[in-house]
Structures are given as structure tokens and as C-alpha cells.
Amino acid sequence: MRNLRPLAAAWLLATALSGTAWAQVATVPIAGGIEVRRGADKAMRVEALADGILRVRIARGSAFDEDASWAVLPETRRRHAKVAATADGFRTASMQVAIDPATGALTVRDAGGATITADAGRGVAIDGRAFTLAKRIGADERVYGLGDKTGGLDRRGGDFVDWNTDVGRFTSSTDPLYKSIPFLISTGGAGGAYGLFLDNTWRARFDIGKTDPERLTMGAPDGPIDYYVIAGPTIADVTRRYAALTGKAPLAPLWALGYQQSRYSYMTQAEVGDVTQRLAREQIPTDVIWLDIDFQDRNRPFTVDTTAFPDLAGMVRGLRAKGVRTVVITDLHIAQASDGYAPFASGTAGDHFVRDAAGQTVVGPVWPGTSVFPEFTAAKSRAWWGSLYRNFAAAGVAGFWNDMNEPALFVPSKTMAPDARHRIAGDDFGPRTATHAEIHNVYGMLNTRATYEGLLKLKPDERPFVMTRASYAGGQRYAVTWTGDNSSTWDHLKMSVHQLLNLGLSGFSYAAADVGGFTGGASPDLLTRWYQIGAFTPVFRNHAAKGAPRAEPWADGPEHLALRRAAIAERYRLMPYLYALADRNARTGDPIMRPVFYDHSALTRAGCDQSMAFALGRDLIVAPAPTPESPQAYDVCLPEAGWYDYWTGLQVVQKPVEPAAPSPFPPAAPDVRTVETPAIARLPVFVRPGAIIPRQPLVMNTAEMPQGALELHVYPGADCSGTLYADDGTTLAHTRGAYLRRAVRCATDSEGITVTLDAAQGRFKPWWREIAIVVHDWAAGDASVRRGGTTLPAVTDARARTATVRLAYRATATTVRFSRR
């Protein structure tokens, strides 16, 4: 903290933050920022936690709300950037913060003076405990985030509510849904991209230019007025800073990236055996089998129906011996049963259940019948919940599925009463009792936290795998997620792409949508296309409802089976690329699946309909038809010329662009297009010029060691680079240096191309002993290849336009030169 002492002098301001008249106002320096105070009535603190991250807190009276958060860890909130005073606020290395002395409005600008975000009017209106924050929003701004809400990728013009809700058969206009992630990203403003994160667990509301097209408002009926401004200038900068603020997702086990087969429900142990045998017989790579609630005794969590599953532990061991993991569901509702049901008995003895306003245990109907609900706001109750996994963990169950955790009850309100009482004990909150109205939106996240921490305690060196339906900001630290009970329609396929993209921008990079749709039954073409798209999404799970038509890959006959098998197989060949993206996500927060404009800003305003297009990392663009049910040809916009077709390895044929009519305005973006005609046998996928994509030989699951060479596919172009990453795939040894991470680069000149593998980082020895470097866009003719002073035999393919060389793997820096003869 420096140079803010002059701001300790009193300011005379005209209006209070709420619009009432100010008296004497003191502005004083605090660590990393300033505090503006009007006597004992109103106060605002603006602090720079880091260069690019501002925290804004507003007090309704003389005292601020408790400095605590379920989303932002204490050590993060205590950090501060170096700041310097200005006449009306302060500045950091990249931001200028100003408070208008006439209105109290906050404006944040970049170092060059361009406005990043600014309050509309006085910025905040307070009505008792309720509040509304107002920001100006420019005509060119587009808004993303808010988790898995529907209504399109762009949130502009929408009005959204955060209240975790179990919604079956949701539509594109359904709101609220399962998650509450009160974070949004705006792009297109004068100061570049920025984010707003409202850290308030109550029933918050966001009006993004719907009521007033020039105003974005957000507020809640109660709770802290505590929000963050996250500067860009790029959308990637904002996403990474949000991940630094709320926590990055830990690296998932490698098997979690494999194909996962599920159904509500596989009813017996014999049925599980039949399905897994069919998967193997049909040569469908598979890593996970899921068990839904019917494997349990009377739908009671942490039990097994021993009639239907007479030897669950033996089944799990048998599947694991074949390389297939088992994930089972453990809903959070505990049956109120005094007939020896151990979770209810131990939970009652330990006083681990939520109480109502009268002090009695909350009860409600769910799948097991009358049920009670754990008190996840108390550290001791979370520890008790985690201990319930002991038997399943000992049996070798690999992962757990926390469903119904909004929490969902079979009552008209769909959840417990808002005046139910939660006892907060632990974390950085002071001990107190909170109503369910405050805790509801964070309850599912705390459920997954209890599961995650319990699994770590039971198996301290094994990466936990937890799937959740409900969550809150920061929940990515504990669980992967999925979009809930979707439907088997083309509209839901398209909707799922938008939901997964916005989840990735909201911190949840590991996200899935039920392939084929949960309810209704997909047509053969729809199911096949969903498999093809699902193969390029972060978590790849096929799941269908009880009573719905079968949706396993062999449904609909041999032709569709062949296409679905090919899609799944391609994912396994691409596993080294996926795993490197997962490693990068753990380190930076970059989503695995992301909007096409995340890395390629030229596509922000490209002329094509990109409503189904998405990127897998920065190097692959997947471009299904924007109207996926239509056979009509469509244009695909690419960020620049020279992109490659993933399937052929050849550069794409550009569509001739007709001259535009004369206009005084410059084009919005370079118009590089190719044309696609929908065909069920082809999902268009394109590769960035300059990408280096690692691929491996096909395996039947990630436990199987690939036989053969690791392939490095080099697509010449600018910024030619890629990354190799490997570790043991299951333990936490990678956090102690047992990993391999290696940068790969290429440089092209008139005589050929040079490929360089930097020295390997980490001490893990990978499975590959040989590397095959495949250079694409190789002109006709032989190639002379040398590594140091050694000439290596090369194979060229005139039709594929490739040159390939195989070399023994070395961990030291290696340079390979391809020269044209």
C-alpha cells in the first residue's frame, strides 16, 4: 500500500450510494484500495486483490457484512495488489478506479483510459435488505456465463434467476435451472472483455439489457453486497482470473475423459455384465459404467440391493480387471428409517440433519420415501457424510454421483422451506444459524465438497471423481457436472452446446450433457450426431431415462453402430491432446471446450451462423450445422486462411466470397469461409494452422497401454506449437513432480520445416518409446530428415500430403529437420 494518504481528507459528495443526500464523507486508504464512508450511514470499499481483480463491498449501515465466502477462499480475499492514489480513486498497473464525487458511481478504466465497466446512475439501490446494482452496457457488448442456463450462448437481452431447481423436461426458456453461478463475462466494450461476479448465495436476479437495453442489473433480496470486477482485455484473461479467484478444477483422473456408459437404470448385476460384454464384443472403447438409484436397497443411499446385485464388490473388481471403472449414485436424502439403516442412525446420533424453524428435523418425500437432509454447512457433518463412503471405496468403486442436491423434494415448492435452519460451523464464517433462503444455492456445492473431502480422507493419494447436478461458484473445486434431465430433441442437442460452453466459461470445464437426451428417445440420426459431438466434449456420457428406448451405441443397427464406434474411437486416439488440455485447465483455468472466439477474436463477429460451432482447445474447431436437423448446406467461418480438415489432413477449400456492396464501414471480421453439406457420416472438424496435435494408437480403455508410437501431427502455420502431457492418470503424484510436460514447436522456411521438442519437465516416464512426427501439407516429393547428424528414413504420401518419420523417444531437447529434396 502506498501513496493513498492524501485521500484521507474528507470529500463533500452530493448524493449517497442509495440516492439520499450525503453529509461529510471521508475517503480513507485501506490495503489495496479505498473506503468511502458517509458517517454511520453508508460505506463502500473498493480493493484490488490483484492487478485485474477488484472487490467491491457496500455496507447498508456503519458495518459491512461478514467477510466470508463459500466461493472465494480466505487466502485469496486477503491478497492485495500494489496501488497508487489518483485524484478520484486509485490505479493499479493496468486499471484506473474512479468514484464520481457527485453520484458515488464507480468507473473502472484500463491503463489507456478506455472504460471497462461503469455504474449506471448511482450504481446501487438499497431497499431494506434488498439491493440492486446497475452497470452501463454498450450496444456492442455480448454477455456470456451464468453456468448452464438455457436461452442461447449470448445472455444479452435475458432476465435470469439464481435458485437451484430440479426441472424435468426443461426448454430453451426455462429458468431457473440446476445451478447458480452468478458470474458473467462481457465482450465488445471499449475496454475489452470484463467479468462481474456477485458473491451472494440468495435468490439473485440478473437483467442483462432486457428491461433497459443500456443497463445490466443484478441484485438479491438479502445477503452481502459483495461483487468483483474482473478485467480482461481478452475473454481468456477474464476466465483465467475468475478461476484464480474461485479456484481451478483439479486435474481429473485420465479415465474420466473416456467414454462412459449409463442408464436409469441398469437393474441387475447380470444386466451390467451383459452391457459390458456387448461393449467389448462390439469393440467400443469404454472406461466407465454408471449405476443409478435402482442398484440400492429401496432407493436408500449407501445401500445395495443384494438380490439384484448379489456381489457388487466382485462385480466392481471384475470390471476393473477389464479396465472399466464403476461410478455409483449417492443422493443426499437419507431415508428416515429406524430399521437398522446405518446412515440415518449415525446421522441422528451425531445431530447431522437440517432442522426447521421450530427446531425439528426437516423431513420430506424423495426417492426413498420420507427423508432427512444432512447439514453440509457444518464441518463435522461434512466429515460424517464423507465417512459414509468407506465401504464403497473399499470395494473399489471409482467415483460417485451426487444427484437431487438442489436439494430436490417431491413437494410443490420442489425444495425445503426457506425458513429451515442451517447451522454454520467451520470455514471462515463465524458460527451462526442461517435460513435455507441463504443456503439453498450453495447446498449442492457443499454436498459435493463433503463427498470430495471424504474420498480424499479415505484414499489420500487418489484423485476423487464426483459428479454433481447442483452447484455454486467455486464448485468446480470439488466436482464435475452435467446439464441435467435433457430431452431427446435436435433443439436440446443445440442447447447442450451452449450450456457446456457457458459452463466452461463459468469455471466448470468438466461438464457433460446426456448423449442422446435423457427423456423421450432419440431418432437414429439424432443419437448418432449426438455421439459424434459428444466425442469432442469434456465429459462423454451416454445416459437415458427408465422407460426410454435404449441408447447404447448398438441401438438402431450396424450402420449407426459403426458411426458411433468411430466417434468413440477417435476420442481415444485424441486422448493425449485432451489430457494436455485437462492439465492446462488445472494450471490456468482455460476451458477444455470453449467458444470459437475464445482464442480466435476474428470470429467474434464473423458472418456465419456459428450457433453450433465450438473449439476444443485452441487448435480444433468443431462445426456442426447450425440447424442440425436440416440437410441444407451451410458456411463455416474460420479465423484465417490455411485451416486444415481434421479427417483428411488437407487444407480446406475456401468458398469464394462475393464482393460486398460498397459500404463506408469496414468489415466486422475477415470472411474466411468453407462450405459444408450435412451428412450423418461426417462431423466437420478443423485444425488450426500452426497446431501440433498428439494422437495415440487406439485402446479399449485408458487402463490399456497403447501399442506403437505416439504421433505428433504437425500442421504448419504461424505460432506453431503444441504440448505433451502425461502422468499415472489416477493418483496425486503429479502434484509432487511425477508428471511429464513437454513443449513442441515448429518453424517453416522455404527449404522445409524444423520440429523441436523441448526438454521434458517432470520425472514421469511416459508409455511411448517411439514418436512418429507427421508433417502435413508436405508438397509432392521426397523428404530428407535429420536429427542432429543422423539421417532418418522418412515416408511421404503424395495424396495425403504428409511426410512421416519415426524416432526413438528422448527426454532431452530434440530437433528434427525435414528438408525437401
Q: Is 388 left (phi over 0), alpha (psi -120 to 50) or beta?
A: alpha
Which residue in 311, 361, 307, 310 sits closest to 333, CA to CA?
361
Any catalytic annotation for residue 214? no
**Position 668 pLDDT exceeds 80:** no
C-alpha cell at 339: 430399521
**Cα distance between residue 684 and residue 677, in whole Å:** 10
Chain segment 200-218, per-residue pLDDT in tens: 999 999 999 999 999 999 9
* Weakest mean pLDDT among 393-397, 488-492, 514-518, 661-665: 661-665
Q: Are 807 and 787 in contact (CB under 8 A)?
A: yes
> Residue 26: left if φ>0, alpha if ψ -120 to 50, beta else—which one?
beta
- Does residue 403 carry a catalytic annotation? yes
**Average pLDDT value over all residues in the chain:** 94
- Kindly tell me if the per-residue pLDDT of 11 is higher than 90: no
pLDDT at position 500, please? 98
Mean pLDDT lowest among 2-11, 418-427, 581-590: 2-11
DSSP E strands, 529-628:
540-542, 593-594, 614-616, 620-622
Cα–Cα distance, 250 to 781 (Å, whole number):
47
pLDDT value at position 18?
A: 40
pLDDT for position 42: 77
Task: Tell me the C-alpha distance between 145 and 585, whole Å.
Answer: 17
- Going by pLDDT thresholds of 50, 70 and 90, the confidence category of residue 39 is low
Q: How confident is the model at residue 103 (pLDDT cuts 50, 70, 90)?
A: confident
Query: Tens digit of pLDDT for each residue in 232-288?
Result: 999 999 999 999 999 999 999 999 999 999 999 999 999 999 999 999 999 999 999
Question: What pLDDT is stored for residue 139 in this prediction?
Answer: 96
Q: Does residue 20 carry a pLDDT above 60? A: no
Band of the pLDDT at 424, cuts 50, 70, 90? very high
Question: Percent of the chain scored above 70 by pLDDT?
Answer: 95
Q: What is the pLDDT of residue 660?
A: 52
Q: Is 406 a catalytic residue?
A: yes
pLDDT tens sequence across 727-759: 999 999 999 999 999 999 999 999 999 999 999
Q: Is the pLDDT of residue 661 over 70?
A: no
**Among the options 375, 485, 599, 671, which is catalytic?**
485
pTM of the entire structure? 0.96
Task: Say if CB 230 and CB 197 are below 8 A apart.
Answer: yes
Nearest to 652 by CA among 679, 625, 618, 675: 675
Joined together, the cell numbers standing for residue 735 give: 502434484
Check: CB of residue 226 under 8 Å from CB of residue 250: no
Q: Above 70 in pLDDT, residue 406?
A: yes
Q: In what order do the strands lie in the sheet with 325-329?
A: 511-512, 480-482, 466-468, 399-402, 325-329, 288-291, 259-261, 540-542
Phi and psi at residue 123, to the nearest 5°: 90, -35
Among 176-180, 559-563, 651-655, 713-717, name the one with the lowest average pLDDT.
651-655
For a pLDDT cut of 90, what percent of the chain falls above it?
A: 91
pLDDT at 662 over 70: no
pLDDT at residue 682, as a whole number: 98
- CB–CB of 3/109 below 8 Å? no
* Residue 452, CA atoms < 13 Å, CB-side half-sphere: 21
| Predicted local distance difference test score (pLDDT) of residue 821 | 79
Q: Does the pLDDT of residue 425 top 80, yes or no?
A: yes
- Over residues 183-201, the mean pLDDT reads 98
Q: Which of 35, 403, 552, 711 is catalytic?
A: 403
- Catalytic position from the list 148, 166, 207, 406: 406
